[in-house]
């Protein structure tokens, strides 16, 4: 009896155990040793719009024989390539990580006027990919199922920059699958082209997005600024695509020389970024930081090194992800001009519910207060819907916040808005209001806004309750942030609310608000010092003298310290010098702001040595490794021994 293990040389996860009769060569036992949840199902709509979704069939299911219909069999095959790429590289079981069935409809048409259909998409409601006639390629199938992976991980909102990153990720997965499955045209002249095997021809190039009028950096002429195509998701994805090309293959671009990491490392970094670091409202600046952090997270795995991470940083600098687009994105409001925030109130909209929907001048209220579709941190944001009926409502604080006196005070929030407008006519919008009497009276906080204030006036001819008022109107082109100086409210108990006014017809998306905070700005400093509680010497008639002491080290600053050391010396006077006798050393890992730590020590002196009339000097931060505001209070002598 012969025992044979059959494995695949390519990415397919094949491992069969076969027992062959050693005399007659017959197979006595055969079974699959791979635990897999791969399940595929393909429908065929024959270019008939009446069939809908999922359509006619299924015409081929997992393990079924080839049908002879090119689009059907290619969809089946390429869904397998997608599955094994994610399984083999990331141990991800289908797009949801839980073995979801892979479903495709081929030769789909939306209408008789648009048939044959020359597009493809992922349907999150039907949980399947939909493919037009002749568009079934490996990178296309990988691209559309890549959207499914994004849905089940970061959930990048398909709008503005987060949507462009969503689209770029699908391009990346599609091309990575294309370059590793050994199928199609992967010659150097076609490398980094997308959908090159499609009957309609290639439509993107990741190495040079400009070929198809996509931007390859944030200040590129081709960077799209508008609300069409969900804010240019299929255009501005070029920035992300160029970065992926540079990280993988390397090259010189925009003043930066990037050494490529290769596809394996690049794939791991992009997967780590998508699954652990991005959220639904992430933008290119977030991706700039996240790609580098993902690389740092993976150092020591998959052969990734610190030098690799530096090249990731060069790629994102070359594509200017750290810069704001020249054409349309609002610059974000700083939190503090100097120092760091000390929060009085902070809500990332992920836990305790601090807000409620309240009617203002009309009783109509939207159904929802929160959204899980578009957020800057975590999963949720506050959501003020742009209704298509006459309405005036607010997202209001449930409880007021008492503001201290003596420091500058600020109110800061991140937000994205898309209110109904047409050209320069702004039909709907939102304003920020505050109350200092428990919510009985409300005042417009517009005059307090010092960064990214109102940007339009609401039209007076459509009945909007905020007609003629300055407000946030039109679109913010994704998430931005605004800051108010509320120092004039010091000593008061204050409530804030986000008020939305809608006219009687039509609507766009609305107002998303996240990471709301009230705070002071404080310059964080460290100041280490200390004082003696006690110190004494005891000497026996025949034994050596012993010094016992208790010293308290303090951090009187407003910031936690890093690690430092304290050394104790015996000195003839109160001035520390290199001739003083070393006694003891202690290591402090960190000392929090405005806290102290007591240190007790016991040291036996050498035979014949007496500390009478001498001092013990404590040297705080003995190696001078902590940056302090006052370096002159680190030498603390004790009283002399009697």
The pair phi, psi for residue 589, each rounded to 5°, is: -65, -45
Q: Which residues belong to the active site?
A: 144, 234
| Residue 138 near residue 198 (C-beta atoms within 8 A) | no
Beta strands in 290-352 (DSSP E): 340-347
The DSSP line for 126-150 is: TTEEEE-TT---HHHHHHHHHHHHH
- Determine which helix (DSSP H) or strand (DSSP E) holds 125, and give its type and residue range: none
CA separation for the pair 321, 291 (Å, rounded): 11
Strands 381-385 and 510-522: antiparallel
Cα–Cα distance measured from residue 381 to residue 474, given in angstroms and rounded to the nearest whole number:
20
Query: Distance between CA atoms of 576 and 570, rounded to whole angstroms?
Result: 9
Query: Rounded to whole angstroms, how far apart are CA atoms 44 and 66?
Result: 13
* Distance (Å, whole) CA 221 – CA 223: 6
**Six token digits for residue 405:** 């006196």
Peptide bond into 58 cis (omega under 30): yes
Q: Can the peptide bond before residue 54 be classed as cis, meaning omega within 30 degrees of 0? A: yes
Cβ(416)–Cβ(371) under 8 Å?
Answer: no
**Beta-strand relationship, 250-253 and 193-194:** unpaired
Two tokens, residue 455: 């940007």
Tell me the C-alpha distance between 476 and 330, whole Å. Answer: 7
Residue 288: phi and psi, rounded to 5, are -55, -50
Contact 571, 577 (CB under 8 A): yes
Indicate the angle between helix axes 263-276 and 160-180, nearest 10 degrees: 150
Q: Check: CB of residue 359 under 8 Å from CB of residue 352.
A: no
Q: Are 272 and 152 in contact (CB under 8 A)?
A: no
CA-nearest of 325, 331, 329 to 215 is: 325
**What does the DSSP 8-state code read for residue 333?**
P
Question: Is 374 within 8 Å of 281 (Cβ atoms)?
Answer: yes
Count of C-beta atoms within a 10 Å radius of residue 97: 15
Q: Assess contact for 343 and 517: CB atoms under 8 A.
A: yes
DSSP character string of 178-205: HHHSS-S--STTTTTEESTTSTT---EE
- Distance of alpha carbon 252 from alpha carbon 283, whole angstroms: 24
Alpha-carbon gap, residue 466 to 502, rounded angstroms? 8
Encode burial over 349-362: b for 16+ CB neighbours within 10 A, e otherwise.
beeeebbebeebee
Cα 504–Cα 507–Cα 509 angle in degrees, nearest 5: 145
Q: How far apart are CA 615 and CA 187, in angstroms?
A: 80
């Amino acid at each position: 009896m012969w025992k044979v293990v059959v494995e695949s040389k390519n990415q397919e996860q094949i491992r069969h155990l076969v027992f062959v009769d050693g005399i007659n060569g017959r197979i006595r036992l055969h079974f699959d040793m791979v635990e897999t949840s791969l399940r595929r199902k393909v429908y065929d709509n024959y270019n008939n719009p009446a069939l809908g979704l999922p359509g006619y069939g299924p015409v081929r299911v997992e393990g079924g024989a080839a049908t002879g219909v090119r689009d059907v069999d290619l969809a089946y095959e390429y869904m397998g390539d997608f599955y094994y790429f994610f399984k083999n590289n990331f141990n991800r079981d289908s797009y949801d990580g839980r073995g979801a069935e892979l479903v495709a409809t081929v030769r789909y048409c939306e209408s008789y006027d648009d048939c044959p259909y020359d597009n493809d998409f992922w349907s999150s409601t039907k949980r399947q990919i939909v493919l037009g006639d002749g568009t079934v390629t490996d990178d296309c199938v990988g691209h559309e199922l890549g959207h499914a992976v994004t849905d089940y991980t970061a959930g990048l909102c398909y709008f503005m920059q987060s949507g462009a990153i969503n689209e770029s990720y699908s391009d990346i997965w599609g091309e990575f699958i294309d370059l590793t499955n050994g199928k199609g045209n992967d010659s150097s002249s076609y490398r980094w082209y997308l959908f090159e095997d499609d009957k309609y021809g290639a439509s993107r190039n990741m190495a040079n997005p400009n070929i198809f009028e996509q931007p390859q950096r944030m200040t590129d002429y081709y960077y799209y600024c508008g609300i069409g195509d969900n804010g240019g998701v299929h255009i501005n994805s070029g920035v992300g695509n160029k970065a992926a090309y540079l990280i993988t293959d390397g090259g010189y671009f925009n003043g930066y020389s990037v050494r490529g990491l290769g596809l394996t490392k690049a794939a791991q970094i992009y997967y780590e970024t998508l699954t652990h670091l991005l959220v639904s409202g992430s933008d290119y600046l977030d991706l700039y930081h996240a790609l580098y952090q993902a690389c740092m997270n993976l150092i020591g795995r998959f052969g990734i090194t610190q030098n690799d991470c530096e090249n990731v940083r060069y790629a994102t600098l070359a594509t200017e992800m750290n810069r704001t687009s020249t054409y349309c994105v609002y610059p974000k409001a700083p939190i503090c001009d100097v120092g760091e925030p000390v929060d009085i109130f902070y809500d990332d909209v992920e836990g305790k519910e601090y807000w409620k929907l309240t009617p203002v001048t009309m009783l109509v209220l939207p159904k929802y207060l929160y959204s899980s579709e578009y957020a800057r941190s975590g999963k949720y944001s506050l959501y003020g819907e742009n209704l298509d009926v006459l309405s005036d409502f607010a997202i209001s604080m449930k409880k007021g916040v008492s503001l201290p006196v003596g420091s500058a005070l600020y109110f800061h929030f991140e937000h994205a808005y898309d209110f109904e407008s047409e050209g320069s006519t702004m039909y709907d919008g939102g304003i920020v209001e505050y109350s200092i009497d428990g919510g009985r009276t409300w005042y417009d906080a517009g005059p307090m806004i010092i960064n990214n204030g109102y940007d339009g006036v609401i039209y007076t001819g459509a009945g909007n309750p905020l007609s003629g008022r300055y407000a946030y109107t039109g679109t913010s082109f994704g998430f931005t942030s605004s800051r108010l100086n509320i120092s004039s409210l010091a000593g008061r108990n204050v409530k804030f609310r986000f008020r939305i006014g809608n006219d009687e017809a039509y609507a766009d998306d609305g107002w998303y608000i996240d990471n709301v905070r009230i705070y002071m700005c404080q310059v964080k400093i460290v100041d280490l010092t200390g004082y003696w509680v006690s110190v004494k010497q005891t000497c026996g008639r025949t034994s050596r003298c012993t010094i016992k002491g208790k010293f308290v080290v303090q951090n009187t600053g407003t910031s936690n310290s890093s690690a430092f050391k304290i050394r104790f010396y015996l000195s003839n006077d109160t001035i520390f010098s290199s001739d003083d006798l070393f006694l003891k050393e202690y290591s402090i890992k960190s000392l929090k702001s405005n806290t102290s730590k007591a240190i007790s020590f016991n040291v036996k002196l050498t035979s014949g040595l007496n500390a009478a009339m001498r001092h013990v000097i404590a040297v705080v931060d003995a190696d001078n490794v902590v940056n302090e505001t006052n370096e002159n209070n680190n030498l603390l002598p004790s009283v002399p021994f009697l």
